[in-house]
Structure 1
């Protein structure tokens, strides 16, 4: 037997709509775009600060041995790279620091030939909440750290050649290319390579991988535990 159920019409809210106020200076910050190209950066009013940010990035890349200059082998092609600029702001809207990052143009990478795997496990937010809750309940100190230029530590297994970055073409070696030894931001396999390097390093320090979440490691020492 079929029945017909009558329901009242949905109740419409009578609350007056109010336009959200973002503040008088919102548009000002919104239109102050970061430089799009290297030429834009060195020609901007903030060129001095941006050049220092670029130098800091290149110092990290060079000291880490990210690439070596070689002649491009016959039959091989290069991927490009570009500079990304960003201003990090303080809560009051003033500039905290300028950041520059060299990023590989990964859309030119050829599947299978230049990368085999791109997956990297990511810690679930619920697990992080559980760990924080446990730390609060058992009065366990929490230490947060940040690894500078994280992806540069991943070691590549493939042969990848990249054009020399704008503004840093080696004098006398203009026709040479960068053979990547370490990973670089923008490469498809960068997250996976970094995780592999981190996994190898932390296991060497005696930590054990949690099988339920492959981003969680722990180490027991006496009556103490580090997670």
Structure 2
């Protein structure tokens, strides 16, 4: 059985600064941070995990008003001149990585993680049962701990 997937993607390349977006930002761990995380995990004989958050850039709340044209092939008849106002992010938007980072950052802080003052993508959580170290790389997460 063949499965087909469809994904609505915004034309981010046609967005204009100060009109369609104010700021772009993609959280990326520095290579030194990733190397250190791998070294600490190896030295302490911890397992190291990596995961890709498939829906990271979807459904994140937008801070700006963003409008998109109706997708070609799906234009509503007698409403061809209308556009969609987005309430949440879509793939392709310049704001999507920033919205994702703000959401995951607030989640980590709310659940007791400590954010590194020198590396914006590095979080640690200590408890009586051990430590958990998490690093973000755009929509990937690397983590290890005791």
Alpha-carbon contact 1:118-1:191 (below 8 Å) kept: yes
Aligned to 1:224: 130
TM (normalized to structure 1)? 0.52
Secondary structure, counterpart of 1:152 in structure 2? coil
Compare the two structures and name the one with the higher strand fraction: 2
Aligned to 1:158: 64
Secondary structure, counterpart of 1:218 in structure 2? strand
TM (normalized to structure 2)? 0.78
Query: Deviation per CA, 1:139-181, whole angstroms, max 9, x where unpaired?
Result: 1122222211211142111111111223444567555422111
Secondary structure, counterpart of 1:195 in structure 2? helix
Structure 2 CA distance for aligned equivalents of residues 154 and 126 of structure 1: 29
Query: Deviation per CA, 1:9-66, whole angstroms, max 9, x where unpaired?
Result: xxxxxxxxxxxxxxxxxxxxxxxxxxxxxxxxxxxxxxx65xx121xx3xxxxxxxxx
| TM-align CA RMSD | 2.1
Alpha-carbon contact 1:154-1:195 (below 8 Å) kept: no
How far did residue 214 of structure 1 move?
Answer: 0.6
Structure with more contact order per residue of length (Cα contacts < 8 Å, sep ≥ 6)? 2
Aligned to 1:211: 117
Secondary structure, counterpart of 1:158 in structure 2? strand
Question: Matched residue pairs, number?
Answer: 132
- Selected match of 1:103 from 1, 5, 9: 9
Aligned to 2:5: 53
Alpha-carbon contact 1:160-1:180 (below 8 Å) kept: yes
Compare the two structures and name the one with the higher helix fraction: 1
Q: Structure 2 vs 1, CA of residues 134 and 108 (structure 1 numbering), >3 Å: closer, same or farther?
A: same
Moved over 6 A (4+): none
Mark the structure with the bigger radius of gyration.
1
